[in-house]
């Protein structure tokens, strides 16, 4: 089916060949979506309400939860729209805006994880100066820097999408819009749009992960210099939650990248599943990890439920 270049919409795709089962497929998506909203929303509520969580570590955790909420709220409406209502059409402006938010928030999440690594680095390397170094002002500046980097770096490749002509099929390969998906349908010179994302991904994802790795090498060096075994275990325990979140995020990033780069012969359904794992697994797991591994979060949750039980 052919579309002229002036068409003002794209067609989203659910799970090709499984259209009859879309309603069943939507159930786990809906459950995960609600879990992400409840988990990250609860983290934000706890950090806002409990003063013992008003520390740099938890401010960065709040940023991570807010980013995960934003990413889920950006992607899931169109996914559930396709699976529930077979609502496949999406306007050009809405599509490009969704792609912009998805890619920006992914870069923001990487930046927040880097900021959290810096927080742990200061907490263990300079524990006596922790509060004097990581002041509220510095936390705000770091947060704004992470946001500006994430949202500004995606503008150059997204802006041309509004001006490219699109011809032939307007069918996208996912139930949401991605820059790399849209650019394949453009009937124009897309050299810049193909090269720029590679450079940005290298500068952000690769560089962030490398700095996080170096910071943990230095952290481990500091921990091993502590004489007491109990103190070493206590210091490492403060890093476990962040390490788990870093692994969850970057393993899914690497997995998705490898599938797209080398999985030409892999069935399309595998590409789809990996993309959903990338967008849903970290936002689902991050609040679970911090709830299980962080005693302050556990205490706040228990206190919150105790209050509600008493009121009931």
pLDDT at 103: 96
Residue 274 lies in a domain: yes
Asked whether residue 231 is assigned to any structural domain, the reply reads yes
Residue 2 in any domain: the answer is no
Tell me the mean pLDDT in the region 225-231: 79
Residue 310 has pLDDT above 70, yes or no: no
Residues 6+ away with beta carbon under 8 Å from 297: 43, 46, 53, 290, 291
41-50, 253-262, 301-310: least confidently modelled range:
301-310
Distance CA 158, CA 151 (A): 11
The verdict on residue 171 lying in a domain is yes
User: What is the value of pTM for the model shown?
Assistant: 0.93
Q: Torsions phi, psi of 258, nearest 5?
A: -65, -40
Q: What is the pLDDT of residue 311?
A: 57
Q: Sorting pLDDT into bands at 50, 70 and 90, what band is 308? A: low
Q: Is residue 83 situated within a structural domain?
A: yes
- pLDDT tier for residue 4 given thresholds of 50, 70 and 90: very low
Q: Which 3 state secondary structure label does DSSP give 93?
A: helix
pLDDT digits (tens, 9 = 90+) for 244-296: 999 999 999 988 888 877 777 788 888 899 999 999 999 999 999 998 888 88
2 has pLDDT over 50: no
In angstroms, the CA 286 to CA 68 distance is: 9
Task: Specify the CATH number for the domain of residue 105.
Answer: 1.20.1070.10
Give the whole-number percent of the chain exceeding pLDDT 70. Answer: 95
241: containing domain: 9-311
Task: Please give the pLDDT value at position 1.
Answer: 43
Within a domain: residue 4?
A: no
Cβ-based neighbours of 68, under 8 Å, separated by 6 or more: 36, 40, 109, 282, 283, 286, 287
The answer to the question of residue 138 being in a domain is yes
Q: Each residue of 112-145: pLDDT tens digit? A: 999 999 999 999 988 889 999 999 999 999 999 9
Look at residue 168 and tell me if it is in a domain: yes
pLDDT at site 3: 44
Number of domains comprising the chain: 1
Q: What is the C-alpha separation between 59 and 179, in angstroms, rounded?
A: 31
- Based on the number of CB atoms within 10 Å of its own CB, is 295 exposed (0-12), middle (13-18) or buried (19 or more)? exposed
pLDDT band at residue 235 under the 50/70/90 scheme: confident
Give the tens place of pLDDT for each residue, 188-215.
Answer: 999 999 999 999 998 999 999 999 999 9
- The mean of the pLDDT values for the chain is 90
Query: Which residues touch 181 (CB under 8 Å, ≥6 apart)?
Result: 99, 172, 173, 174
pLDDT score, position 304: 77
């Amino acid at each position: 089916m052919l579309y002229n270049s002036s068409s003002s919409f794209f067609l989203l795709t659910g799970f090709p060949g499984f259209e009859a089962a879309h309603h069943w497929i939507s159930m786990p998506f809906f459950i995960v979506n609600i879990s992400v909203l409840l988990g990250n929303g609860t983290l934000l509520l706890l950090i806002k309400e409990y003063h013992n969580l008003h520390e740099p570590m938890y401010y960065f955790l709040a940023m991570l939860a807010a980013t995960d909420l934003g990413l889920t709220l950006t992607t899931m409406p169109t996914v559930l729209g396709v699976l529930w209502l077979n609502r496949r059409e999406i306007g050009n402006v809405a599509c490009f805006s969704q792609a912009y938010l998805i890619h920006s928030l992914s870069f923001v999440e990487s930046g927040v994880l880097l900021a959290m690594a810096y927080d742990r680095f200061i907490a263990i390397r300079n524990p006596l100066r922790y509060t004097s170094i990581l002041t509220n002002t510095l936390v705000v500046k770091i947060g704004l820097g992470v946001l500006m980097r994430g949202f500004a770096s995606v503008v150059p490749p997204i802006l041309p999408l509004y001006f490219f002509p699109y011809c032939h099929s307007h069918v996208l390969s996912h139930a949401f819009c991605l820059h790399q998906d849209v650019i394949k349908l453009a009937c124009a010179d897309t050299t810049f749009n193909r090269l720029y994302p590679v450079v940005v991904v290298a500068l952000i994802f690769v560089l962030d992960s490398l700095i996080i790795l170096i910071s943990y090498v230095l952290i481990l060096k500091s921990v091993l210099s502590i004489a007491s075994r109990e103190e070493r275990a206590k210091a490492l325990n403060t890093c476990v939650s962040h390490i788990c979140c870093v692994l969850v995020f970057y393993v899914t990033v690497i997995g998705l990248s490898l599938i797209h780069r080398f999985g030409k012969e892999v069935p399309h359904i595998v590409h789809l599943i990996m993309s959903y794992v990338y967008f849903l697994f970290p936002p689902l797991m991050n609040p679970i990890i911090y709830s299980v591994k962080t005693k302050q979060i556990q205490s706040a949750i228990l206190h919150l439920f105790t209050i509600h039980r008493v009121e009931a």
